Amino acid sequence: MNDAECVHFLQWALPQNHMRWPGFRKVRRQVCRRIAKRLSLLQLADVAAYQNYLTQHAQEWPIFDELCRVTISRFYRDKLVFAELSGKILPALATHAQATEHKTVRLWSIGCSSGEEPYTLAIIWQCLLAQHFPDVHLKILATEADPVLLERCRQACYPASTIKNLPEPMRSVAFTRTGAEYCLKPGFKGMVEFKQQDIRMGMPGDCFDLILCRNLVFTYFDEALQQEILSRLSTRLHPKGWLILGVHEQLPDTHTGFTTISARLGLYQK
């Protein structure tokens, strides 16, 4: 299977699962490699045969969906976003929480991959903010559809390339080097609750002060599904709560109920 053949197949197959080809253009090689392995396992001659197989075996579509999960992530991804979170948004949420009965800030990381994003939030809080808000509790929920990735979250050991964007003072405080890997210390691991959940199928019952939905829904799903999920996300945000998208993402043109704070950084407020 060459690149052109895989592209042609993806342009046919992705819309069948409410996904959009433009989101996969730059990461297609990761998906194409998985498809090639699937062809070998099924003993199919080429991707055209796989297309025919999909049309005849409805039970294969969920497997194809799993092949399309993109797992690219790292700590402190998009440093300007995390600078805004640590310098303005989280302090403002913590200040507001101090005046409430429960004194709690609730965050939700959707599609957390191997845990890099929610753990970055935990590290920022412990290293930069906790001492200024000793009475405030930070609760971080991270959801991910893939059980293999969730196991990596719980192990919380990473290669140097994954943590290199994290500022050095925080790297030193949060990680212990074990051979070629850097393992997150227990005090930071314990701050995050992980749950297996596909955002297309359901969402937590709680409401949150901040939801990070970056580089997933508004990159890979078609606009109808984006709009559906956005409507449901709105019900899980407190008034004045924050929705954080990826820096290359934007809300559907028909969205309502959110104010754009910074389209460049993907910052929206309910």
The 10s digit of each residue's pLDDT in 182-221 is 999 999 999 999 999 999 999 999 999 999 999 999 999 9
Q: Are 27 and 89 part of one and the same domain? A: no
The 10s digit of each residue's pLDDT in 223-258 is 999 999 999 999 999 999 999 999 999 998 877 789
Q: Are 184 and 236 part of one and the same domain? A: yes
Q: Are 157 and 221 part of one and the same domain? A: yes
113-146 in b/e burial notation, b at 16+ Cβ within 10 A?
bbbbbbbbbbbbbbbbbbeebeebebbbbbbbbb
Dist CA 1 CA 200 (whole Å): 30
Q: Is the dihedral of CA 240, 225, 82, 208 positive or negative?
A: positive
Considering the domain boundaries, does residue 167 fall inside one?
yes
pLDDT at 255: 77
Q: Are 13 and 104 part of one and the same domain? A: no
Segments forming the whole domain that contains residue 12: 3-67
CATH number at residue 88: 3.40.50.150
Tally of domains in the chain: 2
From 79, 135, 112, 103, select the one nearest 209 (Cα to Cα).
103
Find the mean pLDDT for residues 81-91.
97
The 10s digit of each residue's pLDDT in 219-228 is 999 999 999 9
The 10s digit of each residue's pLDDT in 123-182 is 999 999 999 999 999 999 999 999 999 999 999 999 999 999 999 999 999 999 999 999
Q: Are 87 and 207 part of one and the same domain? A: yes
Q: Are 150 and 237 part of one and the same domain? A: yes
Domain boundary residue, one of 23, 45, 67: 67
pLDDT at 242: 98
- Non-local (6+) Cβ contacts of 184 within 8 A are 119, 156, 157, 158, 174, 175
**pLDDT above 90: residue 66:** yes
Q: Are 126 and 18 part of one and the same domain? A: no
Q: Are 98 and 181 part of one and the same domain? A: yes
Strands in 78-207 per DSSP E: 104-110, 137-144, 157-159, 175-178, 181-184, 192-196
What is the rounded (10 degree) CA torsion for 107, 109, 114, 117?
-70
Considering the domain boundaries, does residue 73 fall inside one?
no
pLDDT at 67: 96
Domain boundary residue, one of 67, 100, 123: 67
Q: Are 89 and 155 part of one and the same domain? A: yes
Considering the domain boundaries, does residue 72 fall inside one?
no
Considering the domain boundaries, does residue 253 fall inside one?
yes
